[in-house]
Chain A
Amino acid sequence: MSKPKKVITIGGGVAGTEVSSLLAELGYDVTLIEKNSQTGGKLNGWSHLFPTGRPAAQVAEFLQHKVQRNSFKTICQTDVSQVVFGNGSFLVKTSGDERLPADAVVISTGFDIFDATRKEEYGYSVYENVITSVDLENRLKAGAPITTAAGNKPCRIAFIHCVGSRDEKCGNHHCSKVCCVTGVKQATELAKQLPQAEIFCFYMDLRMFGLPYESMYREAQEKYNIQFIRGRLSEAAENADGTLQIKAEDTLSGRPLKMQVDLVVLLVGMVPGKNTAHMADLFELQREPNGFLQTEDPHLFKNRSSRKGVFLAGTCTGPMTVDETLDHARSAALDIHHYLQNK
């Protein structure tokens, strides 16, 4: 019996662990390279997932269980430093000086969170009561009560949609897709935790693309009295007492709006990861104008890169929900399986 073919997965988040587990289950010799100290990616920091409200830890445990069941080699705290292209094969060199041969490579380097400090007018990192949706998610996961920097219960909270997404000034033309529903989910979670609080969501469009999302949006308004205001924030400024003054235009009423709030949550989007860009350079892969990795065909071959034998899984190709990421990883495993069988 011939030796199992070798696959290297670069990036051990949701997509990377899923595609590696499935390929190991199919009998391939898989090595997963992860730059952080543990696999699981950003999912490890999420509290609850939309639309079900299921704890993110349940999905993380499911993925981890599959990793353990289909034992494959995982190398953490390691980067890929060099790639040598062979005749239909690859030699991947790591920052740990390992030289790993592969018959196929999966790039699953995920996304980065938009750096909210780039929207200077919102004062993230300057004003203590301006936080991001990621900060809020981490706080929710930790189970700590949501308070202002001074430790008080916030009475008025503003969520700001599309921070760094669909924003020409930031150079990000793309819609990050998951932030709208994340905003609705987080606003609802805060409304449950702080029933006396007034909660406002400032949006330009609400893109409730998933089947149950529209119901979440309706419930947020009808059951939790969350107010949605169509208008982008122009600036936030701090008052002497640490509360925030925010300015926007309510584009439905056509009037400028100024409001005092205790907490501002910036819904930061997904941007192409620095590591993804690095992989694109190493493997000489094509990228979309928005910086995400280009697939061979956006309809038919969404897991194939511009280089034969290099496959793509998850949010390195564009913003996705956790569910979509899992689907994309599973289709990648199947595509790689067909590729290696016919090789």
Chain B
Amino acid sequence: MKHQAKSIIWSDYQKTIPADGFYYLRSCIRQNFFPGSERAFLQIMQNDLGKDVFDDPKHTTCTGIAYHSDLLPFETLQTVVARQFALMSEAGYRNLAVSCVTSFGIYSEVLETWKEFPDEMEKARTYLRKATGRELAIPENVAHCSDIFYHFRNEIAARLQYPLINGETGQPLKIVEHIGCHYAKMFPGKGVGGAEFSCVLSGMIEAWGGEVVDYPERRHCCGFGFRQYLIMANRGYSVSNSKKKFESMEPYRPDAIICNCPGCTMFLDKWQYTIGELEGKTYGGEGRGIPVLTYEELAGLALGYDPWDLGLQMHQVDCEPLLQKMGIKYNPGLKYRGLKGEDLGKPVIPNCFNRAVHSF
């Protein structure tokens, strides 16, 4: 593989990412499944990098899941999006920092629609005014939060306490990156590096000392696909897509998977358990799964944040082997302790994973 050729392709897909002043739009599901990620984003941006990011309690879901499930008319979606934009403007911001890849796709799609069909924008403006009394404003910049970390990857690298190096071997950690489909497949020009050889996550991995695993099913969907998982009868299709990816990456023996999409992180993490239960198959070696992290969690670990503050105990696949490889100092005894030290209770170790290698 000629890596230099990739950088030529990347040069066609560079986007403007603002240096400061972001209005933060959260995901509606990430705080349930990976509860430390968004907090880590805010802490890294505000405390480590000293950036102005406004976390507004007034904003809502983008309605993306309902929209992609055909439960919500496009007009309603546009009006909700218009409200988010109005809130941004009212708060005195012009740049959106979007936590979720589905939302990023939604905001991009609505803005493109308004560009192509100005009448739609006028309708949304009217609906917004009638429903809320607010005035529509168009953001100057829409960046996914992974774009922003990519933009500041070298600043983050300068502060690393635990680079992505295997402490035992001294070799770079081998990391699979998975880009959510709605990040760049809908609008390749809106993703860093385009859709086929997107470099938003690989750029972070390399800047922080790791090695990117390029495997044949790299571009394949994680299996999330709204219609696949929302309807129970279709979930086998969802699992089979994830399995296709795991089978393809397994020979490379990756140390971790990182994602920039809530759904991808969730399904690549939780379907490993499902496949383990269904087929007795695990992909991380020695009866383990492959740890799946969000890019914020990975950045947080590398910056020295406590893994339990990052919420890694909430992952289906145990992340402790990765912590040990990175040489991270952590207290296993605090894994299932609450903020006040209370016992949260330990989960049952699934039969599919090798109990002998798990610390709990």
Contacts and interface: CB of A to CB of B under 8 A. Distances in A.
A127 to B, nearest CB: 6
Given A120-B194, A240-B251, A240-B252, A126 B2 contact: yes
Interface in B77-108: none
A81 interface: no
B196 A120 contact: yes
Interface stretch (A96-104, A219-227, A231-239, A302-310): A231-239
A73 B252 CA distance: 62
A121 interface: yes
A262 to B, nearest CB: 14
B216 A237 contact: yes
Contacts of A120: 9, 194-197
Interface in A118-135: 120-121, 123, 125-128
Contact of B219 (A127, A237, A240): A237
A125 B251 CA distance: 25
Contacts of B216: 237-239, 245
Interface string A131-163: 000000000000000000000000000000000
A148 B79 CA distance: 55
B348 interface: no
Residue picked from B6, B216, B217, B252, most chain A C-beta under 10 Å = B216
Contacts of B339: none
B1 A127 contact: yes
Interface string B182-224: 0000000000001111000000000000000011111100000
Contact of A237 (B2, B9, B195, B218): B218
A117 interface: yes
B231 interface: no
A237 B197 CA distance: 11
Given A237-B216, A240-B251, A128 B1 contact: yes
A236 to B, nearest CB: 9
Given A125-B2, A126-B5, A238 B214 contact: yes
Nearest to A240: B251
Contacts of B217: 237, 245
A117 B8 contact: yes
Contacts of B218: 237
Chain A interface main SS type:
mixed
Contact of A121 (B2, B8, B196, B214): B196
Interface string B240-264: 0000000000011000000000000
B196 A125 contact: no
B2 A128 contact: yes
A125 B214 contact: no
Nearest to B214: A238
B9 A126 contact: yes
A126 B219 contact: no
Interface in B6-20: 6, 8-9
Interface in A223-264: 235, 237-240, 245
Nearest to B3: A126
Nearest to B6: A126
Nearest to A127: B1
Nearest to A243: B216
A117 B9 contact: yes
A237 B252 CA distance: 15
A210 to B, nearest CB: 35
Interface string B54-78: 0000000000000000000000000
A170 to B, nearest CB: 13
A232 to B, nearest CB: 16
A120 B195 CA distance: 9
B197 A125 contact: no
Contacts of A121: 196, 219
Contacts of B196: 120-121, 123, 235
B5 to A, nearest CB: 4
B249 to A, nearest CB: 10
Contact of A126 (B1, B194, B215): B1
Contacts of A237: 215-219
Nearest to B195: A120
Contacts of A126: 1-2, 5-6, 9, 197
Nearest to A120: B196
Given A235-B219, A238-B216, A125 B194 contact: no
Contacts of A125: 2, 5, 8
Nearest to A125: B5
Task: Give the most central of A123, A126, A128: most B CB within 10 Å.
Answer: A126
Nearest to A244: B216
B9 A238 contact: no
A239 B249 CA distance: 10
A333 to B, nearest CB: 42
Contacts of A239: 216
Nearest to A126: B5
A272 to B, nearest CB: 21
A107 to B, nearest CB: 31
Contacts of B1: 126-128, 238
Interface of B: 1-2, 5-6, 8-9, 194-197, 214-219, 251-252
20 contacts: A117-B5, A117-B8, A117-B9, A120-B194, A120-B195, A120-B197, A121-B196, A123-B196, A125-B2, A126-B1, A126-B5, A128-B2, A235-B196, A235-B219, A237-B215, A237-B216, A237-B219, A238-B1, A238-B216, A240-B252
A-B interface, 9 closest residue pairs, ranked by CB to CB distance from nearest = A120-B196, A237-B216, A125-B5, A245-B216, A126-B5, A121-B196, A239-B216, A238-B1, A126-B2
Given A120-B194, A125-B5, A126-B1, 13 more contacts: A117-B5, A120-B9, A121-B219, A123-B196, A125-B2, A126-B2, A126-B5, A127-B1, A128-B1, A235-B196, A237-B219, A238-B216, A245-B217
Interface of A: 117, 120-121, 123, 125-128, 235, 237-240, 245
